[in-house]
Amino acid sequence: MLLFLYIRQLRKKYEKTEKEKKVICQGKNMKVSILGAGPTGSTAAYYLAKEGIDVELIDKREFPRDKPCGGGLFNPPLFYKEFPHVKEIEGKYIYKAKFYCRKYFFDYESKDPLMKTCFRKDFDHFLLKKAMKEGAKLLVQKKPEPEGDIVINANGARRIKDYPEAGICLVNDFRIEKEIDTVYIHYGFHGIKGYAWLYPKEGYANIGIGAYLPQKSIKRIYESYIDFLEEKDAAHVQGKSYSAKIIPFSSIKIFILRTH
């Protein structure tokens, strides 16, 4: 999870020196408001509340709430090292992966789990409950009225125009009869600037596709990916439904560098 790697970097950067410990002590008399109770907001709230700081988390939506997501937690051992409290989340460990990138194919099996999959709704709710257990308070407000001395903005990647590029994603959790144990990632499927994936979950297959815009016929390409998975005997799902969303993307140059 890129987000968690970013928080880890921040934590390393602000590792507590004696001077900083004093700042935290002073902070104990402060109130911190966090706008957005997604993984970013809830994780910040968890660590602050653990330090005894008065934290209010404000979200415009009731929890548990859903979002389009793959639900994959990459490299769980590294993840737990940095965020031990995440270990308890229920999910499925995946040890096998098949990667496709244009004409290349790579089959991989690992001793350690490559990823853990869970449902986005449960994951976000789990993190929120952890923060609340440490003492953070949740307020549901359509128009946030933060009362803190410090306000942290954690309301997600929202305004497309603030990002270098825009993309589209189509995703769904499909019920499955037969359990799947391999994750599939397919860069450049049908020539898209993006990738398609299959993340196996307990009783479900999360199938999605994300591509830079402009992108023609993404719906048809998504359906072709489901057919491809069927042909490979990777997943057999009923129907081809999905939810679609326009999302902000980082620079396309970075994507091209990574995939060439």
**Nearer to ligand FAD among residue 71 and residue 200 (C-beta):** 71
CA atoms within 13 A on the CB side of 171: 25
Neighbours of 33 (CB within 10 A): 21
Question: Residues 156, 164, 191, 203: which binds ligand FAD (CB under 6 A)?
Answer: 156
Footprint (CB under 6 A) of ligand FAD, residues 92-151? 144
| φ/ψ (deg, to 5) at 11 | -65, -40
69 binds ligand FAD (CB under 6 A): yes
Are 256 and 224 in contact by the 8 Å Cβ rule? The answer is no
Q: Which is nearer to ligand FAD, 67 or 236 (CB)?
A: 67
Of 60, 121, 125, 137, the one binding ligand FAD by CB under 6 A: 60
**d(C-alpha 174, C-alpha 104), whole Å:** 27
Q: Which residues contact 131 (CB under 8 A, 6 or more apart)?
A: 37, 42, 43, 45, 46, 49, 55, 57
Residue 32 binds ligand FAD, judged by CB under 6 A: no
| Alpha carbon distances (Å) from 227 to 83, 140, 192, 238 | 38, 42, 17, 11
Residue 208 is encoded by which pair of tokens?
């999605």
Alpha carbon distance 7, 188 (integer Å): 29
On the question of a cis peptide bond just before residue 64, with omega within 30 degrees of 0, the verdict is yes
Greatest Cα pair distance in the chain: 61
Nearer to ligand FAD, 72 or 76 (CB): 72
Judge whether 58 and 159 are in contact, CB under 8 Å.
Answer: no
Total interface residues for ligand FAD by CB under 6 A: 28
State both tokens at 71. Answer: 């639900």
Minimal distance in Å, beta carbon 246 to ligand FAD? 10
Task: Give the integer Cα–Cα distance in Å for 104 and 205.
Answer: 24
Least distance between ligand FAD and beta carbon 99 (Å): 15
Q: Which of 3, 23, 25, 246 binds ligand FAD (CB under 6 A)?
A: 3
Quick note: the x/- pattern for ligand FAD over 200-219, rule CB under 6 A, is: --------x-x---------
The interface region with ligand FAD, picked from 16-24, 25-33, 55-63, 83-91 by CB under 6 A, is 55-63
Segment lying near ligand FAD (by CB under 6 A), choices 24-32, 56-64, 106-114, 184-192? 56-64
Minimum separation from the CB atom of position 68 to ligand FAD (A): 4
- What minimum distance in Å lies between the beta carbon of 29 and ligand FAD? 25
247 binds ligand FAD (CB under 6 A): yes
Q: Decide: 58 and 141 in contact? Cβ < 8 Å.
A: yes
Residue 68 makes contact with ligand FAD by CB under 6 A: yes
Out of 7, 32, 35, 94, the only residue in the binding site for ligand FAD (CB under 6 A) is: 35
By CB under 6 A, name the binding residues for ligand FAD.
1, 3, 35-41, 58-61, 67-72, 144, 154-156, 169, 171, 208, 210, 247
